[in-house]
Structure 1
């Protein structure tokens, strides 16, 4: 079964947290696919990963790149695993579809958005019912992750 981590964003936005989690994934030798809810959001994340730090670089590309399968981090609005990723991040409205084939799936959702909360709750129920190993993480006031379930 796939390990599924639910990250409830409250103190910091996705843009502040995603690059660090992607760096940790690459340090572990994992290939990553980041699924966002729209092509526009994918373009925003692409720009973020080019500019988030002056002294770091995250090798990545977009689903529409001719060499998409070669990228260690691929950003896409679509289901599928074109780069053979071990880890799938679901962000910006992307929902948990087929989890088979991934060692880990990370669903990051905005805790200040009622629609995102409802979607995450529905995904939690489905993931648990399918027998996946699901954990729920919430940010403390200091921005640290605390395991809640």
Structure 2
């Protein structure tokens, strides 16, 4: 049974945090779905991951291609089936069933965007009410701190 990890982004933007989390998931041997809810965001994240940091690279593809099943990291609004980890960005939906079927679900949201913050709070309530384990992480002085946990 998996768990949902909520990441409240305040110090680092999505373009910095997402590659770091993907790297950690890949180190664990996990296949990752980065679920986005619009094509413009998918394209932007695709470019960010292709540029990558100097000390690493995140091989990936965009959903809808001929080799989706072979991608270690797939970007887009695809099914979570076959993935160990789902990373939901900018309000992309995840279900309790998906959380329970994967090792981990990461929900990343902009802490300075009130609409995103309210949406994440609604997700937390809906998912924990459905029995999902969850952790809430926030940035403090450049470090991640666990602020809440529901088991």
2:131 maps to 131
**Deviation of the 1:52 alpha carbon:** 2.6
Q: How many residues are paired up?
A: 146
Residues 79-135 of structure 1 deviation map (CA, whole Å, 9 limit, x = unaligned)? 4136x1100000022122342421110000000001101100100001110111111
SS of residue matched to 1:85: coil
Distance 1:19 1:109 in 2: 15
CA RMSD, Structure 1 to Structure 2 (Å)? 1.3
**Deviation of the 1:57 alpha carbon:** 1.2
8 Å contact from structure 1 (residues 111, 117) kept in 2: yes
2:85 maps to 87
**Deviation of the 1:74 alpha carbon:** 0.3
Taking structure 1 as the reference length, the TM-score comes to 0.93
Moved runs in structure 1, 4+ residues, more than 6 A? Answer: none
8 Å contact from structure 1 (residues 95, 119) kept in 2: no
8 Å contact from structure 1 (residues 6, 134) kept in 2: yes
Distance 2:121 2:30 in 1: 27
Higher mean Cα deviation, 15-24 or 91-100?
Answer: 91-100
2:147 maps to 148
